[in-house]
Structure 1
Amino acid sequence: MAANAGATVENMTTEGDGSAAYEAHITKTDGTHTTVKLDANYTITATEAGGQGGHGHGNETALTGDAATKVKAAVLAANAGATVENMTTEGDGSAAYEAHITKTDGTHTTVKLDANYTITATEAGGQGGH
């Protein structure tokens, strides 16, 4: 918040890909979404365009319509009672779609699906745990 006065923090997670210790997804006062990465000492190491639903990768977009309905149905069928935090296209080539969920035990998980809405991977870390 010190570096982004007036921003809204959408979520904060540990960062599981080794690029940082922590990651925060924020919405700035101008409405843009930003991902802020921090080291273990809580020093900002990177600020990237994209945030909630974008995860710092400009080639991911939030899902809407039929795709969102199908992804949500597949994810919840495999994770009964979970809360779907957001769903995006997956821009890194590892899957067609990605959903970030909070399971009933409070853990955050990333679920990847192929173009046929079949789950191909489930990874620890969710909202921003990319």
Structure 2
Amino acid sequence: MEKPRVVFVDDHRTMRLTLVELVCGIYLKDLTFDTVQLSSTEELLRWLADGNVAHAIVCDNNTGSALTGSRALAQLRDGHIRTPFLLFTFDNLDEDACEELLRLDAAHVNKGSDNAVDLIAEFIRNALRSP
């Protein structure tokens, strides 16, 4: 049986590597899964279009590309891809943006919060438990 895959999307390589190391290497070391690291939302959409399967997606909202994480999420949902999706940002989202994430069945974590890594780890753990 193939191991589940967790995809991390961030154009800042150091941030991506640190997040993977912290979340996967420390907080989720009891779980077995593969990580995929991508640098843009366009790369994420191509990767999924190529038939790859993700069991959880952790995506920066601003990947340095024209397509924000929230817009990529909307495209995935429009294409009936229901993969658990967490959007992380350095800013607090306004009420409309929060409502949109709820409508799209996604989570949000502010990178600046004291428990950001805990919340991301909890999101991944729950996503990997889901059928």
TM-score by length of structure 1 reads: 0.29
Is the helix fraction higher in 1 or 2? 2
Greater strand share, 1 or 2? 1
Question: Greater CA radius of gyration, 1 or 2?
Answer: 1
Point out which structure has higher relative CO (alpha carbons under 8 A, 6+ apart): 2
TM-score normalized with structure 2 length: 0.29
